[in-house]
């Protein structure tokens, strides 16, 4: 059911994007330091969105690597603690009676 909802939502977003691209097919000038690039408005917006997403992913890579390293450290500590508990359970109990 969730798959169908996601598929319908994805199709709806695609249709809205296609309609937006058709309605905004006019050419616009994108000025930058080396010159001017003439392209459809919808293409420029899609490229701006893609570059923003790429820069966001690159900005988050440091935090991702740090979190993975912390996860590995915690996993190693957990394994060591589990081994210690197992060893303590295997020690025979002596009564003082």
Closest CA to 30 of 42, 18, 20: 42
- pLDDT, tens digit, 9 for 90 and up, residues 52-71: 999 999 999 999 999 999 99
Please give the radius of gyration of the chain, using alpha carbons only, rounded to the nearest integer: 28
> What band does 42 get if pLDDT is binned at 50, 70 and 90?
confident
pLDDT of residue 97: 64
- What distance in Å separates the CA atoms of residue 46 and residue 1, rounded to the nearest whole number? 30
pLDDT of residue 84: 93
Query: What are the extents of the domains in the chain?
Result: 20-88
Phi, psi of 68 (to 5 degrees): -65, -40
Name the residue with higher pLDDT: 95 or 85: 85
């Amino acid at each position: 059911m969730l798959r169908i909802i996601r598929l319908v939502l994805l199709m709806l977003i695609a249709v809205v994007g296609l309609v937006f691209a058709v309605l905004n097919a006019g050419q616009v000038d994108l000025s930058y330091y080396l010159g001017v690039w003439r392209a459809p408005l919808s293409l420029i917006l899609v490229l701006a969105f893609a570059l923003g997403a790429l820069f966001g992913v690159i900005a988050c890579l440091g935090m991702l690597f740090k979190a993975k390293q912390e996860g590995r450290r915690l996993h190693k500590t957990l394994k060591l603690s589990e081994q210690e508990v197992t060893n303590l359970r295997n020690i025979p109990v002596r009564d003082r009676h």
